[in-house]
Amino acid sequence: MSKLLLVDDEADVLYAFQRNLASPEIELTTASSGEEALKLIPEVKPDLVMMDVRMGGINGLETLRRIRQLDSKLLVILMTAYGTTQTAIEAMKLGAYDYLLKPFEVPKLKEIITNALKAARDMKQVVSYQPLLEEEDYEQGIVGRSEAMQQVFKLIGQVAASDATALVTGESGTGKELVARAIYHHSNRSSQKFLAVNCAAIPEQLLESELFGHERGAFTGATLQRIGKFEQCNRGTLFLDEIGDMTPATQTKILRVLQSGTFERVGGNQPNQVDVRIIAATNKALEQAVAARQFREDLFYRLNVVRIHIPPLRERRQDIRLLADYFLKKLARDQQRSPKSITSSALRAFDRYHWPGNVRELENAIRRALVMAKGEAILLTDLPGEISGQSTSASAVPVPGASGEGIPSDVAPLAKQLFQWARREPKLKILPAIERELIIHALKDTNGNQVHAAKLLGITRATLRKRIEKFGIMRELSIK
């Protein structure tokens, strides 16, 4: 549950908020003046403050200034019916998280509040990266005992203490955001803000303005001057997620901030100086993007000062059971239930599966299985077909030829074994040997029907014929 403090001297506004925002996830407290808000904050410890600018007594800006002396990272959104550029700028300079003009539409307001509360949680929930052993530690942590994760923990510790830029890489769902937050929480900027920008989620034209702000009239619709995330986050840490998706123009601007700490707002020519620590993340192979000239090489080197690569889950299988246990306990706690157990056949399916969605997929699989499980334990049949290997649904049937998708989960370990064999017998031509075996199997299985056999193998009939000839397969089949 998140706590929201609403400060406004008009009873109508307080009432409207209460009516529109009442939900089990939000606990709303109200104050009718800046003075009252300042008294309530240490008591209530809100996650987010929404405050009117014009109030009797001390106004919103002055209240914000005093809040900053109490707490340097409490998120405050200012609201006013009388928008002037000057107040907006001043509010943001004082470290407001956002600035809103009344009246606002309820859905938009809810979206802003949801985003702000997520940002507040990211700043508050300390991510620990030491191996979690105690049950009480099952709060927010990076779980992993594999060699690869130990290496990640070491790097987090080393980089956290410095102000160096860090680049976190890894497939989707491997925990890049979690690592970024762990760095922040253990850095000497942890009492300052941590803000995240997802470079892929924001339309290209808006991203620059989101990052650097804009001057009034910079483009159609820019009716007010706006402060961007770099200015909002001054002295703090900015997490640039999906950095591989930035346009060349934005890349150039980011490079400049990294080199000189300066930038201009969109449509402006006044350089602004900021002190922001950058942590970037991507699931793209940036080296390849550099080679293809889609990503600036100089920016890549600037970001890559410290590189933390998180390997996919299938390459650190010893973490799977540990993570499964962690999520079982964590989800049980969230749902205020006693944790269910998991059968060994289900665990073995976890061990075999190739986890294309990595830790996120594992977490979701457990979440779903908890819903499916009727008794006290998660059974193999409670798992999605692609994980259990019991192809009950149409989507779990392997689709030959589709790249990666639908490939049975045990292909990866099988290929690994075969490869070991190739290593031991360097003279063996492994690929043709496997191909030949597979073709023989397919032909036997289809009683020599080449159309069906080709379909099973995911190749055309013409290709199959060529292979049969090349490997001299028919002779062998007819002998038997």
Ligand X SMILES: Nc1ncnc2c1ncn2[C@@H]1O[C@H](COP(=O)(O)OP(=O)(O)OP(=O)(O)O)[C@@H](O)[C@H]1O
CA distance 330 to 349: 21
Q: How far is the CB of 310 from Mg ion (least distance, A)?
A: 11
Contact segment (CB under 5 A) with Mg ion among 104-112, 176-184, 385-393, 440-448 equals 176-184
Beta bridge mates, 80:
101
Residue 211 or 369 having the CB closest to Mg ion:
211
If the CB atoms of residues 142 and 278 are measured against ligand X, the closer one turns out to be 142
Which entry of Mg ion, ligand X, none binds 283, CB below 5 to 8 A by partner kind? ligand X
Closest CA to 179 of 193, 194, 192, 191: 194
Give the shortest CB-211-to-ligand X separation in angstroms: 18
Whether residue 366 contacts residue 377, with contact meaning beta carbons closer than 8 Å, is answered with no
Q: Which does 213 bind (CB under 5 to 8 A by kind): Mg ion, ligand X, none?
A: none
Interacting residues of 427 by C-beta distance below 8 A, sequence separation 6+? none
Give the nearest residue (CB) to ligand X: 175
Q: How far is the CB of 226 from ligand X (least distance, A)?
A: 26
* Contact between 352 and 390 (Cβ < 8 Å): no
The partner in contact with residue 172, picked from ligand X, Mg ion, none with C-beta cut-offs of 5 to 8 angstroms by kind, is ligand X
| Strand-strand pairing, 2-7 and 48-52 | parallel
196 or 464: CB nearest ligand X: 196
Q: At 128, list the tokens.
A: 């620990």
Smaller CB separation from ligand X, 321 or 455: 321
CB of residue 167 to ligand X, shortest distance in Å: 13
Q: Please give the Cα distance from 84 to 87 (Å, whole number).
A: 6
* Smallest distance, ligand X to C-beta of residue 403, A: 19
- Residue 142, contacted partner among Mg ion, ligand X, none, CB below 5-8 A by kind: ligand X
Note whether 137 binds Mg ion by CB under 5 A.
Answer: no
The 8-class DSSP code of residue 336 comes to T
* CB of 328 closer than 8 Å to CB of 366: yes
The binder of Mg ion chosen from 177, 264, 325, 435 (CB under 5 A): 177
Residue 142 or residue 227: which is nearer to ligand X going by CB?
142
Match 């060699």 to its residue by tokens: 147
| Closest distance of CB 207 from ligand X, Å | 17
In terms of CB distance, is 176 or 340 closer to ligand X?
176
Could you tell me what percentage of the chain is helix, strand and coil, using 3-state DSSP and rounding each to the nearest 5?
Answer: 50, 15, 35
Binding piece for Mg ion, criterion CB under 5 A, among 10-18, 177-185, 267-275, 293-301: 177-185
Which of the choices Mg ion, ligand X, none does residue 9 contact, using the CB cut-off of 5 to 8 A by kind?
A: none
3-class DSSP assignment, residue 162: coil
Residues comprising the chain, all counted: 480
Beta strand pairing call for 237-241 and 194-198: parallel
**Partner whose binding site includes residue 60, from Mg ion, ligand X, none (CB under 5 to 8 Å by kind):** none
Partners of 141 in the β-ladder:
128
User: Taking CB within 5 to 8 Å according to partner kind, which of ligand X, Mg ion, none is near residue 422?
Assistant: none
Least CB distance to Mg ion at residue 241 (A): 5
Could you give the CA distance from residue 200 to residue 210 in angstroms, rounded to a whole number?
Answer: 12
Give the one entry of ligand X, Mg ion, none that residue 34 binds, where binding means its C-beta sits below a cut-off of 5 to 8 angstroms depending on kind.
Answer: none
Nearest to 366 by CA among 334, 323, 399: 323
**Which residue type occupies 19?**
R
Q: How far is the CB of 233 from Mg ion (least distance, A)?
A: 18
For residue 371, CA distances in Å to 243, 340, 390 come to 36, 11, 19
In 46-193, DSSP assigns E strands to 48-52, 75-80, 98-101, 166-169
CB burial of residue 419 (10 Å; 0-12, 13-18, 19+): exposed
Closer Cβ to ligand X, 50 or 323, answer by number: 323
- Tell me which residue has its CB nearest to Mg ion: 177
Which two tokens mark 131? 């191996």
**Closer by beta carbon to ligand X, 17 or else 327:** 327
Q: How far is the CB of 128 from Mg ion (least distance, A)?
A: 19
Residues that bind ligand X (CB under 6 A): 142-144, 170, 172-178, 283, 323, 359-360, 363
**How many residues belong to the site for Mg ion (CB under 5 A)?**
1
Cβ proximity to ligand X: between 174 and 187 the closer is 174
Asked if 291 contacts 250 with a C-beta cutoff of 8 angstroms, the reply is: no
Smallest gap, in angstroms, from Cβ of residue 321 to Mg ion? Answer: 24
Residues of this chain that bind Mg ion (CB under 5 A): 177
